[in-house]
Structure 1
């Protein structure tokens, strides 16, 4: 599997295994989680995507229970912080909110390290833009966790270009990626400036929900799904692999984040990297997703 360099010290696999549903599985045993990671590693998929809030603040611990020193050394761990929801360790909170203050970031890093039983996080992302963010305080806190060695690299998630520029202007450490929603159905980032901004600066994007949260396969998108299935049949893969290949074909070096608890589906994530996608096919799918031809 291809690898993408995000910084001088961090590379990630082109396809990323998303663990947001890890604690929702009927089987959260360490052995079963290790089997999922092994299925990823068999394909060269080494990057695991977490967040403190996943599973009501439980998914990181499910991963940590499964990690051995050998497994830890073979993977990159991404996690996120700043969402405070009234569940789990924040069950006493009155309302869901964001916290990008220094104390919360430092505490979140410590929680993540403890729950995943690791000594460093490979990539820490600010999960959501915070309307109350003090960029100087947040930027200094991110610099601090990198300087401490507890975090190798930092980035953001769901930021628009102006949010990114505000935070980056207050930091010594470069932000290395922005994880945003991109898919055939959520294709606005290709035209609203989000992809172009990061492409201009050579910053690979991570794409969450690259299959549209499953909506891609609803009856309302029958023509698009039929075309995906047709291309997949021609190349010996399923329709979801073609939808992911559509993202991989873009020159912005997008890293799709794919989440499933089914071992059979995990073992086929890498199929997307085998799909041939020429320009005409790319626009064929784009046209079907838009519902009209391009202007």
Structure 2
């Protein structure tokens, strides 16, 4: 499995396992969660993507229970988590309204709660989950820097930020923001032409892609010609259509890291199939053309 350098001493597997729905599985036992992680590790997938809000603030503890039950497993992983969304659920059930909080106090408290729930002394990457209209970069930036200095967080980044949001936060930080996790797929192609991806490429920041299969909608037949092409290309390379859709993202020179989320052990075992072939330029544009519904100008 190819690895991507986010900092000189932090590398991620090119494919990332997303744990958004890990708490929704019928079996959340440490043994079953460990089986998912081991299925990832057997393919060279070492990076796990979490967030405090996942599962109504329960998903991190599901992972933590598995790590506690299997000493030594944590050392094989890189853990990503996120903060700043406050929803009326779990530990934030008293909140009157869903909102964002990028205050130093909230970020620090969120990290402490994440460390406790996951039973670890550090996370490898902390992301600000959503842009906060009330962000004070002179408060948020130093708070993130302090977490890096403390060793509780190895690196920091953002998620769903536009270029101006990214620049604003970066302007008040000593440490570099090392990624922006944004929606990218054959059903979410705007970022390839609206400047979001170009901005990151210019700064040599490797982006992460959430929902690389469009939340499953890519495979539901709503775009029959696109799905047929994915299946045909997959058959030509001995992989299924989901692998082709992910390979489409991997083909981009920005070194995109797709975040693959599934609770199925069978599907987890096939995540790395996307790396089994390299897509040529014309095939990339064939799929892009079908995705946007027109020939490029």
Match status 1:252 vs 2:254? yes
1:41-78 deviation digits (Å, cap 9, x = unpaired): 00000000000000000000000000133110000000
Q: 1:268 aligns with which of 264, 270, 275?
A: 270
Aligned equivalent of 2:279: 277
Aligned equivalent of 1:137: 139
- How far the C-alpha of 1:249 sits from its partner, in A, is 0.2
Q: 2:291 aligns with which of 273, 276, 289?
A: 289
Q: 2:167 aligns with which of 165, 168, 180?
A: 165
The structure 1 segments of at least 4 consecutive aligned residues displaced by more than 3 Å after TM superposition are none
Aligned equivalent of 2:226: 224
Supply the distance in 1 between the matched residues of 2:148 and 2:10 (Cα, whole angstroms). 13
Q: 1:128 aligns with which of 121, 127, 130?
A: 130
- How far the C-alpha of 1:220 sits from its partner, in A, is 1.9
In the alignment, structure 1 segments of 5+ residues that lack a partner are: none
Aligned equivalent of 1:119: 121
- How far the C-alpha of 1:276 sits from its partner, in A, is 2.7
1:142-163 deviation digits (Å, cap 9, x = unpaired): 0010010100000000000000
Q: Which SS does the other structure have where 2:181 is aligned?
A: strand
Q: Indicate if the aligned counterparts of 1:82 and 1:100 stay in contact, CA closer than 8 A.
A: yes
Q: 1:98 aligns with which of 97, 100, 118?
A: 100
Pairwise CA RMSD: 0.6
Aligned equivalent of 1:212: 214
In the alignment, structure 2 segments of 5+ residues that lack a partner are: none
Aligned equivalent of 2:184: 182
How many residues align? The count is 295
Q: Which SS does the other structure have where 1:151 is aligned?
A: coil
Supply the distance in 1 between the matched residues of 2:127 and 2:250 (Cα, whole angstroms). 22
Supply the distance in 1 between the matched residues of 2:36 and 2:208 (Cα, whole angstroms). 21
Q: Which SS does the other structure have where 2:223 is aligned?
A: helix
- How far the C-alpha of 1:9 sits from its partner, in A, is 1.7
Aligned equivalent of 2:11: 11
Q: Which SS does the other structure have where 2:288 is aligned?
A: helix
Aligned equivalent of 1:86: 88
TM-score computed with the length of structure 1 as normaliser:
0.99
Match status 1:56 vs 2:65? no
Supply the distance in 2 between the matched residues of 1:9 and 1:56 (Cα, whole angstroms). 32
Following superposition of structure 1 onto structure 2, how do residues 14-93 of structure 1 map, counting pairs within 5 Å? 14-67=14-67, 68-93=70-95
Q: Indicate if the aligned counterparts of 1:19 and 1:48 stay in contact, CA closer than 8 A.
A: yes
TM-score computed with the length of structure 2 as normaliser:
0.99
